[in-house]
Amino acid sequence: MALARTQSEWDRTAAEMALLANCHRDPRKHGPFYAKDFHPYKSEAISDGVAINAGNIRLLKKVFVKE
């Protein structure tokens, strides 16, 4: 529960930081900022998942389909 609360507080803080940074940025020099740019728990290093390919599908079929 403590981790969830910390992440929730960072969600709010990161959104406010992105809003403030966007208010003071020069559009010619930098694109828009997003909350994930300031959020320590949501970095680019975290993967969104595994790419689906034929090998993955065969493995899933072996695990979940009875033959």
Q: Are 42 and 15 in contact (CB under 8 A)?
A: no
pLDDT the model gives residue 31? 92
- Examine the pLDDT at 17 and tell me if it is beyond 90: yes
Q: Are 33 and 58 in contact (CB under 8 A)?
A: no
Q: List the domain boundaries for the chain.
A: 2-64
Whole-angstrom distance, CA of residue 6 vs CA of residue 4: 5
pLDDT the model gives residue 41? 81
pLDDT the model gives residue 3? 85
- pLDDT tens-digit series, residues 20-56: 999 999 989 989 999 988 888 876 545 567 788 888 8
What are the structure tokens assigned to 14, written together?
A: 């990161």
Amino acid present at 21: A
Burial class (CB in 10 A: 0-12, 13-18, 19+), 14: buried
Against a cut of 0.85, is the pTM above it?
no
